[in-house]
Structure 1
Amino acid sequence: MLLIRRTIVAILLLMTAGLCFASFEKQPDDAVKILIDISGSMKKNDPHNLRAPAMRMLVNLLPKESKAGVWTFAKYSNQLAKYQKVSGWWQKYATKKSYRISSPGQFTDIALVLEDAMQNWQIPDENEKRSLILLTDGVVDVSKDPQESAESRQKIIDDIIPRLQKARIKVHTIALSVNADSDLMKKLSIETDGVYKMASTADELQRIFLHLFERSVKRETLPLKGNKFSVDASIDEMTVLVFKKTPQNTTEILSPSKSKYSKNSKDDSITWYSEAGYDLITVKKPQKGEWQIVADVDPDNRVMIVTDLKLRTSRMPNNVIAGESFNHYISLTEKDKVIDRGDFHKFITVNLEQTPPKGQKLDWIVEDHGLAADEQGGDGIYSFTFSKTLAEPGTHEIITYIDGSTFQRQDKQQVTVHETPLSIESKKIDDSEKQTHGYKVFVRITQNWIDLTTIKMVGELIQPDGLSEVVNLKKEKDAWTIAVPDMEYDRRYTLKIQVIGQTNTKREIKIRAPLLDLVVKKPKEEETQKVEEP
């Protein structure tokens, strides 16, 4: 039995060789394009024009090494801020342009703006992580003729989505109305490994933009405890984002030397940008020590930094399947090189925290010791495997904390877990002529964002005596099947099925199906009626 189990493990290792969501050694540059609906219906759904401050927040949070561009659209598509490498000049330019956002347009040509934004993204590039953030309040509406609008919508499904997948572009969609085409928005997002968000009011836009920004762009952050955070000597610049419950709320920051700063302070090292819903404060060469935000504690407050001492983590997919497993990698880098010195790491504590949609937080200490999930000890890379904890459908938040005694770092990511795409059916086999009985098992894939041509299935059949054997599932029409004949009556057989394949975006997946117990009940013998002799 041990040999058989080793054989199964070997098969699965071969099938999952290189299974990883992104190259950890060389992470791609972030590239994001923002597409904003300016059709006339926005006057009703965004009466205070909150799209503009949400855009300003996002463009001013972008790291300098990223690329970005902004489009507005209605009947026509207009490039509001040219797509290029982010710089201080570009951020000021895009901020100025944001004040032009209003709601003058007719129609809503989503296909047109998607095609415009894709023009220089037709060919996939492993050196770029590409994301589109699409905000709309309506449906595809390109003409007074409903047929033309229906054809444009179908073009998105049949032509544009496959091209987005091929170019490895993730589309995050925001529906700013219950009247928006949520089915199309969800399809655009999930089939490109993006995220769909529904904003019930325009007041939610800024926080939604922040969350989608964090799905699209990697920024170095510090952990906030209450409203306090620790700045170390390696930090060249910090940007503090503070959300306000009302426009009248004031924000101050308190330095380690107890100097207090507000938006009216005169200090050349501090840039203070204030909106009705948030304050964005940038401090150059911040003083080492403990800082404090003097404002309401808010879970969406952030402290983002520029430093050579960075926390590097593998980028998680936006969408995973309940029962799916994957590895998560963590390291510290200095000038983009992994720090692997033992004398450095003996002072490092690495914690992972997972918050599911419901229930209690889970946390682990991760070590670089080469045991369990850690792939190699002492290489400066901490490895962890997520599997059973990502079972509950919904959005899970996963935070990586680093405490190095003299410095701290944090990485916050979100993963949306979807219900298993596996539909499993068992049909009884009962051949009285051959005197055999058992089951035939059918496994089907129900999600259309999984590439069925890549699917492979292998199983382990555990017999009543505990012995097991490898079984192969064969493709028959729309299902993968395995027959389990010659079963003993009233004995339990257990079938473990592992599924390997890819999504339509070429992300490799590994899913363990729920255990399937098979039992054939012994038929009751027909009772013979006694006939008394006369």
Structure 2
Amino acid sequence: MLRIWIAIVGIVFSALSYSAEESSMSLLDNRFRVDPSIKQITFVIYRAKSSQPVVLVRPDGKKYYAWRSPDNVRWYQESSMDIISIDNPMPGPWQAIGKVTPKNKIKLISHLELSTDKMPNRLYLGESIKFNARLTSNGQPLVLRDFLDRVKLKVTFTKFIENEETLVKEARPIPEVIGEFADDGRGLDEVAGDGIFTVLLPVSSEPGKYRVRITSGNGVFLRAQEQEVLVYPQPLLSTFIQSRVVGTPHKVVISGEQGMILPGSISAHIEHNGPDGDKVTVQGSAQAESNKLELEIPNSENNGNYSWSGKAFATEMGSERPLIFEITEHTYSVVEEVDLAETRRLQELERIQQQKMLEEMQLLQMREEKKTRTMIFIGVGNIVVLILGLVVWFVMGKLRAKKQAIPEMQLEMPKK
């Protein structure tokens, strides 16, 4: 009796273990059966390296090719792999014709679904959020590494417009890709290859209403989810106060907007870089009930260019949602201290020299103007004299002609 119970438990445990994995099978003549309940299925077929894509044969004998297939078939190919996704596949025995490697199995992925975290309805410009998406097959996490490595998941923001579908294509807003998911165990992704994709989304879109689409696609697998969100102006303001006194530290002041940020929730991590490559890290948190945080940065006496950047953390009032904001890099310079008295003396000397030069230029200009007026007077005088000479010459000529004409008239008169 005990042996029977042990056998039953073993069978149940084996069945549960099998259901958590993708379906795979060794093929006889590369044949496999599709169940009538399956509405969408994906075949992952391994074949000899550099061989031609397989030919997929339906139960009724119709053939599907990588370069020719109906609209419900999507085909992704590599030098040693085919990934074929079919919507509403025909139930019954299928066959893959090609150089399928005997050491590998054809993987069948059915009831493939994409689920994601729900994005907050209220986002803030400049914030970064961790966002997860999950792929499941038959309700279980999909952990087929070869397939996951070729899935591309991305998040797009599109400006919201009412009845967008009624607009012509050229008038529709262009989606902006703001993040791509990864399941590689790096960054914020917790475990590589567990079917959970993670992305750090930097909200860079200007305040307004947007359609957010989470899509996946590797040429064969296409899924999409959509929701509407509102982007608000950034509720945290960071200010740098540069000290002009040696020994007095600089300050970074981070202020939260009243009614948006929970008092006492602000904290920050600042990295300060000097011109010689030296780095100083400062961090701190606001006091209870305070909406302002002040951090002090040591004031170096070295001249040169400095930079600072970091992250600010806060909690949204009302929802108590944790917020993360990237503080972009800012720069400032430290120059040699200036002797104010000597500077004023040099400025006054320069002012006097400029005034003297201005007076000399004005005097020279007056001389030039006087000389010009004299030349004009001389020229006008010469012209007047010339005109008067011509007039006198003309009048004298008339008079001489008149005198010569009188004696001739007297000779011609007859004597009485």
> Which structure features the higher share of helix residues?
2
